Structure 1
């Protein structure tokens, strides 16, 4: 536990707590909006949370060589988390574009008049 200073520990722990709070708030937002894409974002945030917990665990035990596998797991979860967050952001963006397409099509159909005489 002596590997990090107290202020650094405060930053590490508060970052993990903030990330958990963000996941819960995004999940709740998805429930309020009834939009599953936001639930997807909250799930996509989990690998990054695991990554942060790996870092905190490794530092808590003073960075021993026997736990170096946590460093590899942390790096892997960071990569996976970046990929899942990118995918979730794309899913949210794509779902936000769908109503615009419908409105554009509807407007275009209203503007066209067909003369059948």
Structure 2
């Protein structure tokens, strides 16, 4: 295996934090009676399952690339699930039609010229398509938060957006590891790999802590209502 023990801890923590965040959001939806929030928590599960394929890829010493490809495919489903769950939340605001945002997504895809997504193989296309879907999800998530602050904590929303920082830094670290430092892949450069992955762990932790705060806030409001 290429990863050091500290790097493994970071990877495992990252996966665990995302799973906890999904469970917390599902629980928040349950105690508030919000089915749409529960569905959002469930929509986080595909991304969580995809993380185990990445872990399997690293366990193999990065020798089974199909595991990494499968994680990209699952992440596409995960990003789509998050987008659909967010569109469902938008419906609950009753201030705009979620259909218009679906049309906006279609416009983005057409404007992006799908044929330009074709990279070295189909999985490159999937990765780029997943990125477009995820960014669309982020924009709509921000709109949901602005219209109804009871659904998400600002920290949770910031955590989802922080994933973009993780992606940007990972790309830069890949360049440094392979071009500047001469390693075959980023995984071979344990320092830079751990640095990049730690940002994903921070992102997931932000999402989880934000969800936990909303649960505590709701319970405190309920307690005050009973005592008042």
What band does the TM-score fall into relative to the shorter chain? Answer: 0.7 to 0.9
Out of 60, 65, 68, the position equivalent to 2:65 is 68
The 2-side partners of 1:71 and 1:61 are apart by: 11
Bigger Cα Rg: 1
Q: Any gaps of 5 or more consecutive residues in structure 1?
A: 102-117
Per-residue CA shift, 1:74-116, capped at 9, x if unaligned?
0101111111111111211221x13x69xxxxxxxxxxxxxxx
- TM-score, normalisation: structure 1: 0.74
User: Which residue matches 1:51?
Assistant: 50
Q: Does 1:84 align with 2:73?
A: no
Shift of 1:49: 0.6
What's the C-alpha RMSD, in Å, of the aligned pairs?
1.6
Q: Does 1:38 align with 2:37?
A: yes
- TM-score, normalisation: structure 2: 0.40
Shift of 1:30: 0.7
The 1-side partners of 2:32 and 2:46 are apart by: 24
User: Which residue matches 1:105?
Assistant: none
Per-residue CA shift, 1:50-73, capped at 9, x if unaligned?
111100111012122xx3221121
Q: Any gaps of 5 or more consecutive residues in structure 2?
A: 97-228
User: Which residue matches 2:172?
Assistant: none
Aligned length: 96
Shift of 1:39: 1.4
Per-residue CA shift, 1:21-48, capped at 9, x if unaligned?
1111011101111111011111111110
The 2-side partners of 1:45 and 1:76 are apart by: 15
| Greater than 3 Å deviation, 4+ residue runs | none
The 2-side partners of 1:52 and 1:25 are apart by: 18
The 1-side partners of 2:14 and 2:26 are apart by: 18
